[in-house]
Every structure is written in C-alpha cells, then in structure tokens.
Amino acid sequence: MTSVKAKTIRVGDGASAVVGPDTAPPVYKRRRKPLTFDKVSFFVVFLGLPLAIYIMFVIWPFIQAFGYSLTDWSGFSPKQNFIGLQNYQRLFSDDVFMKAMGNNILLVIFLPIITIVLSLVLATLVTVGGSSKGQIRGLRNSSFYRVVSFFPYTIPAIAIGIMWGQIYDPSGGLLNGILTSLGMDQFRSYAWLGDKSTAMIATMFVIVWGFIGFYMVLFVAGIKGIPAELFEAARIDGAGRLRTAVSITIPLIRDNIQTAYIYMGILALDAFVYMAALNSGGGPDNSTLVMSQQLFFTAFTKGQFGLASAMGVVLAVATLIFSGLVFLVNRLTGGDKDVSL
Amino acid sequence: MTTKIAGPEMKALHFNSRKPAMTTGDRVVGAVSHTALSIWSLIVILPLLWTFMSSFKTSSEIFASPFALPSQWRFDNYVRAWTEAGIGSYFLNSVIVVGSALVIVMVLGAMCAYVLARYVFFGSKAIYYLMLAGLTFPIFLAMVPLFFVMRNIGLLNTLPGLILVYVGFALPFTVFFLFSFFKSLPHEITEAAALDGAGEWRTFFQVMLPMAKPGLASVAIFNFLGLWNQFLIPVAINAAGPRVLSQGLAAFAGQMGYAVDFGALFAAVTVTVVPVLIVYIIFQRQLQGSVSQGTSK
C-alpha cells in the first residue's frame, strides 16, 4: 500500500503528490476533479496522439478527396480549377469506367451470395452433422476441416492471386493438367483468364476460395453460440436436420450473416488485389476490369488526380448504398436489431 | 426388487447418453458431410501443395508435367528468389514495417479505446463516430490525397511513412474492438486502483492493460494478418521506396511476364505463405476464438 503511494508520487508529479495524501476517496471521486498534471498529460497523450495520426492520415485525405473530385487537378501543376461536377459527368459517359462499374456490380451480386451460401452449408455440416440421438453434437473430427478451411484467409491476397494465376496457366497449370488427365482434351491449352467467357468466373472462384473458410469459421462460432436447448426442443418437436438448419440456425445467426454480407460486398466493390494479380490489364475486353483498377491507373499512371478522386467518391457512395441496402433488406425481412460491425 | 429392475435400466440410460446409437440416417448424413468437407479440404490443400512442389522444379520441368515430382529436391529456386529477386530484403522490410506498426497501433489504439470507453466528456461521442467513419469508407477514396500528404511531409516512399499510414488505417478497427472490451471491465477495479493512490497513467498501464490481454491478443492477430497482407497502401505511397513483401511479390510476378523463372516465382510465393501458415497453425485455437469474439461484440 505504502509502496504504491510512494511510486505514484514519482509517476505523477508535484500536483498529484499534493492531492494524494489528503484525498477522502469515496466523496472526492464523485465530484469534479481539479485538473492535475497527471490527468491533463493522460488525456493529451491518450487521446491526442492517436487522434492526430488518425486525422492526418485517414480523415483528412478522405475529406480532401471530395474537394479534389471537383477540380481538374493533374497533381503536379500548381493550378487547380474548380470545374464542378464535370468529372462525374465525364465518368458516367466513359464506356470503360461504366464497364468497370458493371463488373463491380456483377461481383457485388454474386460474390457475397455464393460465398455465404457455401460457407453456411459447410458450417452446418460441421455443427449438426453428428448423431440425431442423445446430446446435440457436431461432426466427429471436424476441427481438422475448420483448421484447413481457414488456411486461405492467412495467405496474402497477392500470393493467392499469383498462385491461382499459375494454376490457371494454359500450358503448365494445375487445372488444365487435371482436366486433360481426366480425358478432356479440349482444355489442353485453354486460357481460363484469357478468354472473355471464363475470365470473370475464374476470378470469382479465386476470391470465393479465399473467403469461404473464414466465413465458415465465423458461422460455426455463431451456431455454437446458440443454446443447445433450442436444438433439442426442435428435435423433440420432430424437426429434421434440414428443417432445423432453415428454421432455427439461420434466423438465429442472422446478424452474423448480415455482417458477412456487408464485408463481402465491400470487398467485391474493391477487389483490386485479386484483379491486379490475375489480370493486371483488365482482362480480355476489359471483362475483369474493376473501378479500383481504373482509379489507380487514372491517378498514378495518367496523373489525372481530379478525375481519379471522383472515381473514389463514386466507389465510396456505392459502398454506402450497398451497406444501406443490406441493412434495409434485413430490416424489411424481419431482422429487428442493428448488427455491430 | 425395484432397485434390481432400475439398476440395469439406469446403466443402459447412462450408457446411451454417453455414446448414442447411430441410426442408418445418421451414418448417411455423417458420410455425406465427411465427403463434402473432404472435397472442400482437398480444394484448399491441393493448390498449396502444388505450389510447394513446383517451387523445387525447374521451369522446363514445370511445363513438361504439372504433376510430376521434381527430379531432385533442389533449393536453387529459393536461393534465386531470396537474393536475385530480392524477396529476402522485402521480407525484412515487411517484418520491420508490420512489427513497428503493430506495436504502435496496439498501444495507441488501446489508449484511445480506454479513454473513450471509460470517460464521458464533451465530444467523446463525436470521436467515436469519427472512428466509425474510418471503417465505413473504402481506403481507395483516400489514396490520391494521401499520396500528396505523404509527399508534402517528405515521407513518400519511406518505411516510416508506411508505418504511420498503417497505424492510421488499423486504428479504427483496433479502437472499436477494444472499446467494447474496456467497457466490459468492472468499474470497481479502477476505483480500487484510485483508492490505492494510482494515477491515471499507472491505472492504465499496470491495472487495465494487463486485464485486457485476451482482447489485445485477438486484435493483434487480426491486425497482423491485415497489415501483412496489405497491398494497396504500399503500391500507392511506397511505389519507389524500399518494397515490402506483398509489393515485391507482385513486382516480381509482373516483371516476369511470359519469360522464364517460374520455379523462383513458386519459391517466392512459398516463402510468403509458409511463415504465416505456421504462425496460424500454432495460434489457431486463439484465432478461432477471436473470430467468435469479434462477431459477438
């Protein structure tokens, strides 16, 4: 006790040393405290330092982006002319950008739904695949599947992209090797990423591959959080496995599903890393070009920073609209509380 | 008499509840589940194994047959990737940048979350929502202005600049997660610390921070994965600087085009994947625990 007091005097400074001894704690605590050096320095460092970094490197650039998007700034010229919404007009009449936006919309429609359905199926198999008698239990030895499924999430996205780029390789790739050895000779040197009709699907598969395991683990955690009595009650009422999954499990992990849907959608609106690794030029006929790639190219290759900022704003607005839609649909279909992101 | 009859029955019941009889339906469902999950596991493992195997082959061996084992287990590919392609120095840069950023963001994030969770003052709600905004907007929106912010303060294309930006972008997630964690710690403990005469600083570092260890560990793991895998930030603001691993890997793959050294590329990918995979396997229990925590908060 005494040693703590002695040390406090060292930790704080003169002020706390004066206040320390004659403090009548319970009453004193509730009142407004005088500002001691200890308290002031505490607030300045604890709140000031993180906030300074955060505002300078995150918030300030976000705000500036909106301003830049209204100018014709090319970055290295000192002059920035205010041109209103012209950048936005230009974007929406630009075929390449509209194509990129269309591809993002494709990704937003398909990626979350495919990933979530598949990971829900796997999570359900793991958790309710066990015996239908006695205690509710999961599949035996299921932890192996969970550990393995999570592998892709730990691999850097760029490494995933490069690896799959090699797997899809027309002549030396694993995929065509497997297909030809199964007797499908038409795939002997088929370019999965070089053909307009398969480039997008092949790309989507890579992203789905990277995320199923993560969401599977997330859903397994959600399902394990449901009290076992609920499953037991459903079983006593005669519900089979499918019925239990549809009527008990899914409604109860609804918030997890919503979170997953939003994360996956935000990822689909970005998708930069995967596209850059698999088809850095946008793919055949721009079939895998996405807005983020176009933004990067416009800014750092062409130097049109005003236009690129406008693309960033479009991307941000799309993200907000998407999240809003997911919340709205969830609310309308009966989800009643906000999910904490 | 009654006890004699009840005896065996009880035993049977007891036995039943421990090891339930499998019905035919159960067996079918079990078999189907195992099959589906095994197929999925194969789809995950096969590409990784193939990459690992190919990293020991020469380019001509890779093109001759995608399945054949390498004629001999040679490490030339690794040597070339590590030195000539520069993966070694990129790896070191990544360790420096991610390590520093991780320590800084954990300390600053914990401090910020602690203040926001434990003190009510004018503007505390506003700061909280400012953090939320950082999580909502896509990083892409910030890239162009960030480039010029970094150029103006002279930190463009430098590792310290990269560290600061990593800290900034990892901060909102860290604060959010730890905010709920500090909120859940009992108030009596801070009061007890104050009674014992501990100041604000001492209460935080010697009382609250040790108590928040489980939460800190979870956030640290996620931040590590996120920062280690970060690609966009380095290619945007560190394009001409000392490369980090993800950036170097992309440059290596891009510069090769259709020419030659596929063996070294596979080796480079393996070098990137294996350390994280090993760390994951060691900490997988902790990590799977954090996934559930992260979603329930």
**Angstrom distance (rounded) from CA A289 to CA A283:** 7
> Touching check for B236 and chain A: CB below 8 Å?
yes
Of B47, B265, B280, the CB nearest to A167: B47
Are the C-beta atoms of A261 and A112 separated by less than 8 Å?
Answer: yes
Of A38, A132, A313, the CB nearest to B200: A38
Write a three-state SS string for B133-187: HHHHCCHHHHHHHHHHHHHHCCCCCCHHHHHHHHHHHHHHHHHHHHHHHHHHCCH
SS3 A71: strand
pLDDT tens-digit readout, A9-45:
333 333 343 344 444 444 444 455 667 888 888 888 8
For residue A336, the model assigns a pLDDT of 54
| B-chain residues near A167 (CB < 8 A) | 47, 50
Model confidence at B14: pLDDT above 50: no
Q: Which two tokens stand for residue B19?
A: 């090891």
Q: How many helices (H) and strands (E) does chain B have?
A: 15, 0
**Angstrom distance (rounded) from CA B179 to CA B111:** 10
Mean pLDDT score, B232-244 = 92
Are the C-beta atoms of A161 and A204 separated by less than 8 Å?
Answer: no
Of A46, A65, A125, the CB nearest to B37: A125
Mean pLDDT score, B47-72 = 85
**Angstrom distance (rounded) from CA A44 to CA A56:** 16
pLDDT tens-digit readout, B253-282:
877 655 657 888 899 999 989 888 888 888
Mean pLDDT score, B283-293 = 67
Give B87-143 as a DSSP string: HHHHHHHHHHHHHHHHHHHHHHHHHHHHHHHH---TTHHHHHHHHHHHHHS-HHHHH
Of B30, B47, B254, the CB nearest to A139: B30
Cβ within 8 Å, pair B33-A212: no
Interface of A with B in 244-263 (CB under 8 A): 256, 259
Mean pLDDT of chain B: 84
Mean pLDDT score, A87-107 = 94
Packing angle, helices A196-224 and A95-128, rounded to 10: 40
For residue A137, the model assigns a pLDDT of 66
| B-chain residues near A65 (CB < 8 A) | 141-142, 144-145
pLDDT tens-digit readout, B202-237:
888 888 888 888 888 888 988 998 999 899 999 999
Cβ within 8 Å, pair B276-A341: no
Q: Which two tokens stand for residue A178?
A: 């497997």
Cβ within 8 Å, pair B144-A305: yes
For residue A264, the model assigns a pLDDT of 93
Residue B5 confidence class, pLDDT cut points 50, 70, 90: very low
**Angstrom distance (rounded) from CA B227 to CA B133:** 20
pLDDT tens-digit readout, A208-229:
999 999 999 889 888 888 888 8
| A-chain residues near B115 (CB < 8 A) | 43, 46-47
Residue B108, classified by CB atoms within 10 Å of its CB into exposed (0-12), middle (13-18) or buried (19+), is buried
Mean pLDDT score, A268-279 = 91
pTM as predicted: 0.83
SS3 A82: strand
Interface of B with A in 125-144 (CB under 8 A): 127, 130-131, 133-144
Model confidence at A5: pLDDT above 50: no
For residue B122, the model assigns a pLDDT of 86
Mean pLDDT score, A159-179 = 89
| Chain B nearest CA to A135, separation (Å) | 7
Model confidence at A292: pLDDT above 90: yes
pLDDT tens-digit readout, A62-75:
999 999 999 888 86
Q: Using CA atoms in the order B281, A212, A220, B279, what is the torsion angle rounded to 10 degrees? A: 10
**Angstrom distance (rounded) from CA A100 to CA B118:** 46
Model confidence at A165: pLDDT above 80: yes
**Angstrom distance (rounded) from CA A267 to CA A273:** 10
Model confidence at B18: pLDDT above 60: no
pLDDT tens-digit readout, B91-140:
999 999 999 999 999 999 999 999 999 888 888 889 988 988 888 888 88
Interface of B with A in 70-99 (CB under 8 A): none
Over pLDDT 90: what percentage of chain A? 40
Q: What is the DSSP letter of A227?
A: -
Task: List, in sequence order, every residue forming a beta bridge with A82; answer none if it has no partner.
Answer: A71
Are the C-beta atoms of B200 and A13 separated by less than 8 Å?
Answer: no
Cβ within 8 Å, pair B66-A173: yes
For residue A14, the model assigns a pLDDT of 38
Mean pLDDT of chain A: 83
Cβ within 8 Å, pair B249-A162: yes
Report the complex ipTM: 0.83
SS3 A253: coil
- Could you count the other beta carbons within 10 Å of the beta carbon of residue B12? 10
